[in-house]
Amino acid sequence: MDAEGIAYWSRPEHHGWDEVWLNHPLVRARANQRVTGSPDLWPLASLRAAVPDRLPLPRTASIGCGIGNLEHSLIDLDLVRTVVGVDYRPYAIDVAARRAAASGRADRISYRCAQARDFLAAEPDLDAIFFHSSLHHFTDHESLLRLVRGAQRPDGVLFLDEYVGPSRNEWSWRDVLRWNRMYWSLPRSVRRTRIIRPPVSRDDPTEAVESSRILPAVAAHFEVVLRRDYGGNVLAPIYPSLRRPDQTGGPSDAVFDDAVRRLLAWDDVASARAQSFHTVIIARPRRN
């Protein structure tokens, strides 16, 4: 698993179907707009509006931190005073710790190689807990979020930026047929693969393993202060099959961007009709 993990998380070209779509500037701008109301303000900025009186939050944790990007943004934006990143992959923690040291921030960003559940069970009174694209890799969200609640102060903050769509075994032929109809209406030069397959990562069996259970588990243990859906219902499954302008036989930048704009328009409709696949949530622990 670790050899896979190393390549998977340290090389953008190996990133899963749920991430790459957000790297396109038009898509990023739309997601930002839907979450923060501005194409230039990334989702973390919504924390400033939701808990303005308590920033920077003194003691916080980023669960499933990978090679450590979110933690730097939290410090850059002065949203937290300190953050500990937690991941069970030694390689990821090693890279993340070296990056924190190289940036001169080791006094505010630290890393722990641990199972998230072990860390949460032993760490009380955190001011905030962050999950960025990591909660959908867990099973049994009900018990996990109980632990998250227990690890927080009563006035703690939970921040999620997550895939909350169907779990990997929940895709129907209707979903797949719909994506393929849209895909086939795009120009030939933009289509890299013959068909769109169900977005089930074969490299990572934890991908979306029980993702449809996330929202009910959050509601059981937290009161949602802010929720901003940003779709992905069409773009996330289709984008990895597109041929990019820099690939052999690829479309021009203009043709590619036009295809992305069409997918964005369909994405807005699809994520308004059904539950959005991606969302940002800020929540507080329930008192009961």
Ligand X SMILES: C[S@@+](CC[C@H](N)C(=O)[O-])C[C@H]1O[C@@H](n2cnc3c(N)ncnc32)[C@H](O)[C@@H]1O
CB nearer ligand X, residue 159 or residue 256: 159
CB nearer ligand X, residue 68 or residue 285: 68
CB nearer ligand X, residue 34 or residue 89: 89
At its nearest, how many Å lie between ligand X and the CB of residue 56?
A: 20
At its nearest, how many Å lie between ligand X and the CB of residue 136?
A: 8
CB nearer ligand X, residue 130 or residue 266: 130
At its nearest, how many Å lie between ligand X and the CB of residue 5?
A: 6
At its nearest, how many Å lie between ligand X and the CB of residue 178?
A: 26
CB nearer ligand X, residue 138 or residue 171: 138
Write the DSSP string, the chain: -HHHHHHHHH-GGG--TTTGGGGSHHHHHHHHHHHHSSTTS-GGGHHHHHSGGGPSEEEEEEET-TTTSHHHHHHHTT-EEEEEEEES-HHHHHHHHHHHHHTT-TTTEEEEES-HHHHHHH---EEEEEEES-GGG-S-HHHHHHHHHHTEEEEEEEEEEEE-S--TT---HHHHHHHHHHHHTS-GGGB-SSSPPP---SS-TTTTSSGGGHHHHHHHHEEEEEEEEEE-TTHHHHGGGBPPTTSTTPPPHHHHHHHHHHHHHHHHHHHHHS--SEEEEEEEE---
At its nearest, how many Å lie between ligand X and the CB of residue 125?
A: 20
* Interface with ligand X (CB under 6 A): 9, 64-66, 69-70, 86-89, 92, 115-116, 132-134, 137-138
